[in-house]
């Protein structure tokens, strides 16, 4: 399955080249949240989109912004970058191309403040409620808006599986093409739910970092012994996936390939991973089986690792179990130290960096990783500084991308360097 282009709106950059440069430089773009409502909360840090990078009022008309959530706007901007770079914007009257192009874009959470503000408006009167309120909060609207804007009439699909959303969207799109439902899929995830209520809710779950409010760039620290919770982020990353022969027939450069897709359920707990790590293990094994590759063929694992004490340790255990005697030869990192946790847009944003790693031969680092605790020892962590990846005896660079979500939902993508 060929990947022909990418697009991104993220805390680390609002185009692919800028985001990749920031990631390779090992820079954290997490900052302090300002405002009276945040001052009262245990967590006061997040990774937000800089208005100097993306000003939605400059990208859309006032009428358009009334119809869409912030996450939808991010998805449309990222999709435009990807589609333009892929040279795939067929006119609406090109029936064949439009009918064979689909969308699969998910969202983990709606904007809670949109709901609160609309409820306040209702208290003042029925007519104060926007007619676009419901469309704004539907998780399938990034996919719907994109389909309408470009006239794509293939599969119109939206995933909402918490923090595994973005990876599931890519995997589902991969399978739509495999099964002949489309030749091209525009896919990924979007998220923009940073608000006092969102922060408060995750704080009550004891999920967010609270120890680094005065040092925001140090707050997200996957696998590090001082990790104390994740940091919320926002943005979108969009892929243009294309059936390989279709891409070749157009003569467009192919960035890389999705080789396999694995899914599993923990069936264990609302928010915590299964303690023995078998949920993650099943997803990874199924992705490898689907791709037809073995553990010895994989040179890099981009971990879900959100910087939580429990989750990171369980994932490390499952990676050790999967790779066994090959554990020390597999590089492991999580880019969340730089951009925080984008929830429903995490898996797709990080898959973008995996694809770049496979293509460029450079493995991105885990920012703020200073010391690993004994329960996570034994892995080849790439800490703070990017490292070259030549593929070694494997020849072709192949990686796994993990994503796990509340409710015990797990996804793993097997991604590879494009090989003729």
Q: What is the dihedral of CA 162, 48, 339, 146, to 10 degrees?
A: 60
Residue count of the chain: 420
- The residues assigned a catalytic role are 163
Q: How many CB atoms lie within 10 A of CB 151?
A: 17
- What topology does CATH give the domain 258-417? Peroxisomal Thiolase; Chain A, domain 1 (3.40.47)
Q: Which residue has the tokens 């910087």?
A: 307
Strand 101-107 relative to strand 184-191, pairing: parallel
- Give the HSE-up count for residue 389: Cα atoms under 13 Å, Cβ half-sphere: 33
Is 3.40.50.300 the CATH classification of the domain at 2-250? no
pLDDT tens by residue, 278-314: 999 999 999 999 999 999 999 999 999 999 999 999 9
Sheet holding 2-9, edge to edge: 156-157, 101-107, 184-191, 235-242, 2-9, 256-265, 409-417, 398-405, 300-302, 331-333, 380-381
**Alpha-carbon span 109 to 266, nearest angstrom:** 21
**Alpha-carbon span 382 to 323, nearest angstrom:** 17
Q: Which secondary-structure segment (H or E) carries 191?
A: strand 184-191
**Alpha-carbon span 241 to 174, nearest angstrom:** 7
Q: How many CB atoms lie within 10 A of CB 154?
A: 23
Q: Distances from the Cα of 197 to the Cαs of 129, 200, 201, 210, in angstroms?
A: 20, 5, 6, 16
Spatial contact of 9 and 235, defined as CB atoms under 8 Å apart: yes
Strand 184-191 relative to strand 235-242, pairing: antiparallel
Spatial contact of 334 and 24, defined as CB atoms under 8 Å apart: no
pLDDT tens by residue, 103-142: 999 999 999 999 999 999 999 999 999 999 999 999 999 9
**Alpha-carbon span 101 to 106, nearest angstrom:** 17
Spatial contact of 271 and 21, defined as CB atoms under 8 Å apart: no
- What is the residue extent of each domain of the chain? 2-250, 258-417
Give the pair of three-digit tokens for residue 183.
Answer: 């030749």
Cα Rg of the chain, angstroms: 20
Q: pTM, whole model, 2 decimals?
A: 0.96
Per-residue pLDDT of the chain (420 residues; tens, 9 = 90+): 677 799 999 999 999 999 999 999 999 999 999 999 999 999 999 999 988 899 999 999 999 999 999 999 999 999 999 999 999 999 999 999 999 999 999 999 999 999 999 999 999 999 999 999 999 999 999 999 999 999 999 999 999 999 999 999 999 999 999 999 999 999 999 999 999 999 999 999 999 999 999 999 999 999 999 999 999 999 999 999 999 999 999 999 999 999 999 999 999 999 888 888 999 999 999 999 999 999 999 999 999 999 999 999 999 999 999 999 999 999 999 999 999 999 999 999 999 999 999 999 999 999 999 999 888 999 999 999 999 998 755 679 999 999 999 999 999 999 999 987
């Amino acid at each position: 399955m060929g990947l022909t282009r990418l697009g991104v709106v993220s805390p680390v950059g609002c185009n692919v080249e800028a985001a990749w440069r920031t990631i390779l430089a090992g820079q954290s773009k997490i900052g302090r949240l300002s405002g009276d409502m945040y001052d009262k909360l245990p967590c006061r840090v997040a990774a937000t989109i800089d208005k100097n990078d993306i000003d939605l009022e400059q990208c859309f008309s006032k009428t358009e912004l009334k119809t869409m959530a912030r996450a939808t706007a991010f998805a449309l901007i990222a999709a435009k970058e990807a589609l333009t770079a892929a040279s795939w914007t067929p006119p609406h009257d090109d029936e064949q191309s439009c009918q064979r192009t689909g969308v699969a874009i998910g969202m983990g959470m709606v904007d809670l403040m949109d709901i609160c503000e609309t409820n306040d408006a209702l208290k003042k009167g029925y007519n104060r409620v926007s007619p676009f309120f419901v469309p704004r909060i539907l998780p399938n609207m990034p996919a719907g808006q994109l389909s309408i804007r470009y006239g794509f009439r293939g599969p119109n699909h939206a995933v909402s599986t918490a923090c595994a959303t973005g990876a599931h969207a890519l995997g589902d799109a991969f399978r739509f093409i495999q099964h002949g439902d489309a030749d091209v899929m525009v896919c990924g995830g979007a998220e923009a739910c940073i608000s006092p209520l969102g922060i408060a809710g995750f704080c009550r779950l004891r999920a967010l970092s609270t120890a680094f409010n005065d040092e925001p760039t140090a707050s997200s620290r996957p696998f590090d012994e001082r990790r104390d919770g994740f940091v919320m982020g926002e943005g979108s990353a969009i892929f243009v996936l294309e059936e390989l022969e279709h891409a070749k027939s157009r003569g467009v450069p192919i960035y890389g390939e999705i080789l396999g897709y694995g899914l599993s359920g923990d069936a264990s707990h609302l928010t915590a991973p299964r303690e023995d790590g078998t949920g993650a293990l099943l997803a990874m094994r199924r992705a490898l089986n689907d791709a037809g590759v073995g553990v010895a063929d994989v040179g890099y694992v981009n971990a879900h690792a959100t910087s939580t004490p429990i989750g990171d340790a369980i994932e490390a255990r499952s990676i050790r179990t999967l790779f066994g005697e090959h554990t020390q030869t597999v590089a492991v990192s999580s880019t969340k130290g730089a951009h925080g946790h984008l929830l429903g847009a995490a898996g797709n944003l990080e898959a973008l960096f995996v694809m770049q790693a496979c293509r460029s031969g450079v493995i991105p680092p885990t920012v703020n990783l200073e010391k690993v605790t004994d329960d996570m020892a034994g892995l080849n962590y790439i800490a703070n500084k990017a490292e070259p990846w030549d593929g070694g005896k494997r020849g072709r660079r192949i990686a796994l991308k993990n994503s796990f979500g509340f409710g015990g939902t797990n996804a793993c993508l097997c991604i590879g360097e494009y090989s003729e």
